[in-house]
């Protein structure tokens, strides 16, 4: 049976974790979190009852935070205490380091996504520790990838490994799970982030962008896992960051819509006929109009001039419905966690390893307490 930790147990846990970390590391994570929240040292100090000078010392590691102070910091910054007490995964698809008070909102969004990624990884590890979850080992592409052409070949390799042929993909949460990456769809603004931690690969994808953008982001993060991270792979060593991202984007586009698919469109039809066929393709494969016409151009079915003309004629939702008879269902929205994680959470509840409330947290609301307890059964709701 799960139970709440006493104050003494929490302090003991805090001491055990901090004993494994250097205080300057904790201080740096505090500084990054403060900048991401948009607070000055004085403003945060006022919120947690600590003078600016003492907070500055905490950020350099010269002064240690006790358990009570760190609880106040975590509450004020909207982060779990574990964020400050554990190291992030060694391999991230990107690192959104905040350096000073002038950093952009996008950098701050990325910071919060990275923080959520760390929490998601720990949640997955907890379920694995219960024996309730055994993720698929992350797939890695066996060849070196240094350019877009090689990335597209890797995308087709993955489709073949997953027996996807050239058909439209289902939800990216389930597709990625089969490849060994556990995706969490989160309400935090931004795009996405991913990490590989030994034998576990995880990713977080923001639900804020439109559905096609979410799918593209999920495929992009899957590419980071498959092709290797920027710190250890040949792709990372030999290419600047912008070029690496373009290579990963090429993988994502080919994975979502293999270029041979638009290549089957009649090449000498009228512009309106070509546009209609591409609308059908974009709707069936649930991708953006930009991605659909870019893949068509790659296949040689349209030239640069036609691509420019089509880019200016973005389809309406009504045109998508008319073309295929249904509205594409939004991906990465109602399904927040992979099926294996939802199953593991249910198993952990049934074994009294976690409470129904904790289960709702682990699934980010995909499963509610009432889903797990049923009507009139509150035995474990507040255990």
Per-position pLDDT tens, the chain of length 383: 333 444 444 444 455 554 457 888 889 889 988 988 889 999 999 999 999 999 999 999 999 988 888 889 989 988 888 888 877 776 667 655 556 665 677 788 888 888 899 899 999 999 999 999 999 999 999 999 989 999 999 999 999 999 999 999 999 999 999 999 999 999 999 999 999 988 899 999 999 999 999 999 999 999 999 998 544 444 444 456 778 889 999 999 999 999 999 988 876 678 999 999 999 999 999 999 999 999 999 999 999 999 999 999 999 988 887 877 765 567 888 889 999 999 999 999 999 999 998 999 999 888 888 887 765 544 444 44
164, 153 Cβ separation under 8 angstroms: no
Distance of CA 350 to the CA centre of its chain: 28
Q: How distant is the alpha carbon of residue 55 from its chain centre?
A: 31
Alpha helices in 202-270 (DSSP H): 211-227, 234-238, 241-256
pLDDT at residue 4, as a whole number: 41
Q: Rounded to the nearest 5°, which phi and psi values hold at 326?
A: -155, 155
Buried b (16+ CB within 10 A) or exposed e, 89-111: bebbbbebebeeeebeeebbbbb
Phi and psi angles of residue 204, each rounded to the nearest 5 degrees, phi first: -125, 135
Domains of the chain, start order: 1-87 (1.10.260.40), 262-315 (no CATH)
Alpha-carbon gap, residue 312 to 37, rounded angstroms: 38
pLDDT at position 37 is: 87
Query: Residues of 346-364 as b/e, b for ≥16 C-beta within 10 angstroms?
Result: bbbbeeebbbbbbbbebbb
Residue 179 has a pLDDT of 97
pLDDT of residue 263: 83
Residue from 366, 364, 5, 378 nearest 187 by CA: 364
Query: How much is the pTM?
Result: 0.84
């Amino acid at each position: 049976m799960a139970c709440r930790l006493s104050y003494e147990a929490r302090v003991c846990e805090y001491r055990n974790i901090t004993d494994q970390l250097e205080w300057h590391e904790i201080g740096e994570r505090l500084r990054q979190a403060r900048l991401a929240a948009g607070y000055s040292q004085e403003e945060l100090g006022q919120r947690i009852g600590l003078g600016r000078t003492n907070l500055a010392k905490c950020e350099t590691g010269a002064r240690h935070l006790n358990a009570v102070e760190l609880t106040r910091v975590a509450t004020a910054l909207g982060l779990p205490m574990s964020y400050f007490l554990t190291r992030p995964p060694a391999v991230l698809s990107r690192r959104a380091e905040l350096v000073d008070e002038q950093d952009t909102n996008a950098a701050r969004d990325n910071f919060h996504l990275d923080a959520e990624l760390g929490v998601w990884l720990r949640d997955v590890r907890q379920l694995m520790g219960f024996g309730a979850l055994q993720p698929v080992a992350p797939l890695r592409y066996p060849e070196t990838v240094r350019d877009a052409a090689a990335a597209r070949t890797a995308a087709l390799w993955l489709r073949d490994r997953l027996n996807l042929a050239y058909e439209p993909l289902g939800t990216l949460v389930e597709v990625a799970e089969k490849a060994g990456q556990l995706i969490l769809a989160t309400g935090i603004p931004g795009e996405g982030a991913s990490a590989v931690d030994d034998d576990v690969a995880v990713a977080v994808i923001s639900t804020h962008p439109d559905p096609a953008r979410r799918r593209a982001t999920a495929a992009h993060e899957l590419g980071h896992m498959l092709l290797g991270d920027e710190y250890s792979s040949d792709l990372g060593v030999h290419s600047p960051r912008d070029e690496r991202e373009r290579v990963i984007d090429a993988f994502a586009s080919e994975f979502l819509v293999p270029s041979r698919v638009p290549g089957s469109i009649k090449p000498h039809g009228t512009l309106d006929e070509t546009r209609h066929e591409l609308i059908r393709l974009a709707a069936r494969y649930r991708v953006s109009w930009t991605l659909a016409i870019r893949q068509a151009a790659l296949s040689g079915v349209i030239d640069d001039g036609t691509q420019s003309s089509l880019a200016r004629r973005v389809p309406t939702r009504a045109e998508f419905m008319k073309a295929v008879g249904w509205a594409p269902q939004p991906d990465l929205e109602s399904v927040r966690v992979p099926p294996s994680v939802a199953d593991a959470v249910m198993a952990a509840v049934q074994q009294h390893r976690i409470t129904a409330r904790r289960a709702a947290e682990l699934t980010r609301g995909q499963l509610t307490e009432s889903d797990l307890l049923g009507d009139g059964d509150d035995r474990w709701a507040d255990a």
